[in-house]
Amino acid sequence: MPHHDLVIIGTGSGNTIPDDRFADLDVAIVEHGVFGGTCLNVGCIPTKMYVYAADVAQTIRRAGIYGVDATIDKVRWADIRDRVFGRIDPIAAGGQRYREHGLPNTTVYLGHAAFTGDRTLRVTPTDGGAPTTITADRVVVAAGARPSIPDSIGDSGVPFHTSDDVMRLDEVPRRLTIVGGGYIAAEFAHVFSALGSEVTVATRGTALLREQDEEISARFTALAQQRWNVLLDAAPTAPAEQREDGTVVLHCRHGAIEGDALLVATGRIPNADLLDAAAGGLDLHPDGRIVVDEQQRTTAPGVWALGDISSEFQLKHVANHEASIVRHNLLHPDDPRSVNNAHVPAAVFTDPQIAAIGLREQDCRDRGIPYVTKTQNYGDVAFGWAMEDTTGVVKLIARPDGTLLGAHMMGPEASTLIQPLIQAITFGLDARTMAEKQYWIHPALPEVIENALLGLPLGPEA
């Protein structure tokens, strides 16, 4: 029975933990899929490469408003796909080679790990070989999450795609049906519609991106309804089916939804249930996440967890932060550090982009927190005017004394533009100080933030 000083399950952010400071330890890494994890292979990075191509296509279509006549001659989907994975696949393969051959103290197990006892794992090889049982002094669980599939689709036998495989299609579907109303649905609706598909988005909810501030969600839903066929409150009324011609049909209160391809984007569920976490002494939250404390320790001694399998934030930058905390705590057990998830920003790379940090207006209202808001249009500043932007907004939420509570943006480059507000909220910079004690380059787009800050109806004590 092989024994290791440290076993890491998963090669996403968990794979970043062992460096030269672990050279004196016997390290094992277990991976049941493709090296690199969700973000590299099927998440953040490839999707944003597709999004950029979609953004370019949309820019060309909209060029006429600036007096530039332009048309798209052809979308070469296969070339877009090959550009993306021609870069990503070698990175994944190179990462695996490095772990297998570049470090003498590291053993790589290609297979599925499951707990059978205290820091004891059975690894079943992906090539069908005999399982191996391994033990360790310490274990890090970073095995991520997987797409959630509704029973009305999963049990129906109809073919469908998820974010795991839809980017590798051979061609753009003429009609694409997307089930879901969150960020994955919104991003792929943008990608496929911009690159040639007729997109239908069907969601159980009453709006798209309901996890956003209510005003941003409402504004985005209204814009999406102008661009895609958006069906709200579209819970299934019968199992999905496939016709003889290959058409996939969903049934909801709006009737039959027909498509040439079906993308399921109804969220992701943590993989803890696939690891038999209970056998290893790991407690789980009701939603299936592994329970961890502020130092990323699980309820099992000597076992840590990080990323989507334990975090309420399914975000790569959160997983990376948690991995850095786990690395430090493994190296310095007598001087542990805690995670800081007090102010976690996030972005949705759809069209238009959306970015947010902090409290939403509905959070303040529900918690009885006194607050004021200001919504500022991109088009109210010179650069927004130059862009002919009519939909971009910055919404700020603050206490009446000027303490910033939340920032919510929808518009071009929102994911970049929000960064100064992330800094302000993280480091406690109040609205008046932020607006008045620094220069704002004119006529750059960040002036929309300046105007929003100055427009907050603050009390006299601010």
- Shared domain for 81 and 157, answered yes or no, is no
pLDDT tier at 103, thresholds 50, 70, 90 = confident
143/29 same-domain check: yes
Q: State the pairing for strand pair 106-117/27-31.
A: parallel
In a domain, 346, yes or no: no
Residue 339 forms part of a structural domain:
no
Rounded to the nearest integer, the mean pLDDT of the chain is: 97
pLDDT-based confidence at residue 104 (cuts at 50, 70, 90): confident
Using DSSP's 3-state secondary structure scheme, residue 46 falls into: helix
Rounded Cα distance between 393 and 378, Å, is 5
What's the rounded Cα separation, in Å, for the pair 194 and 57?
A: 6
Domain membership of residue 299 (yes or no) is yes
DSSP class of 297: B
Tell me: pLDDT of 144 over 80. yes
Kindly state whether residues 79 and 21 are assigned to the same domain: yes
Q: Are 12 and 140 in the same domain?
A: yes
User: What confidence category does residue 460 fall into, taking pLDDT thresholds of 50, 70 and 90?
Assistant: confident
Whole-prediction pTM: 0.96
Last residue of a domain, one of 266, 287, 314: 266
Same domain flag for 139 and 79:
yes
Amino acid at position 399, single letter: R
pLDDT in tens, 303-317: 999 999 999 999 999
Domain count, the chain: 3
* Annotated catalytic residue, options 101, 285, 332, 442: 442
CATH of the domain at 363: 3.30.390.30
Of the residues 266, 289, 317, the one at which a domain ends:
266
Question: Do the domain assignments include residue 307?
Answer: yes
Question: Do 130 and 208 lie in a common domain?
Answer: no
- 234 is in which domain, residue-wise? 151-266
Claim to verify: residue 179 and residue 93 sit in the same structural domain: no
Q: Catalytic site residue 442?
A: yes
Name the β-bridge partners of 396: 374, 407
pLDDT tens sequence across 375-426: 999 999 999 999 999 999 999 999 999 999 999 999 999 999 999 999 999 9
Q: Are residues 21 and 93 in the same domain?
A: yes
Do 32 and 109 belong together in one domain? yes
CA distances from 192 to 102, 215, 228 (A): 40, 26, 11
**For 160-182, how does the pLDDT look when each residue is reduced to its tens digit (9 = 90+)?**
999 999 999 999 999 999 999 99
Domain-located, residue 368? yes
The predicted model gives 120-146 an average pLDDT of 97
Residues 6 or more apart from 156 whose CB is under 8 A from it? Answer: 239, 240, 241
Q: Are residues 253 and 274 in the same domain?
A: no
Closest CA to 453 of 389, 409, 394, 387: 394
CA 100-101-106 angle, 5° bins = 55
Q: Who's near 110: CB < 8 A, 6+ residues apart?
A: 31, 32, 125, 126, 127
Last residue in a domain, options 266, 295, 321: 266
User: Could you report the per-residue pLDDT of 109-128, keeping only the tens digit for each?
Assistant: 999 999 999 999 999 999 98
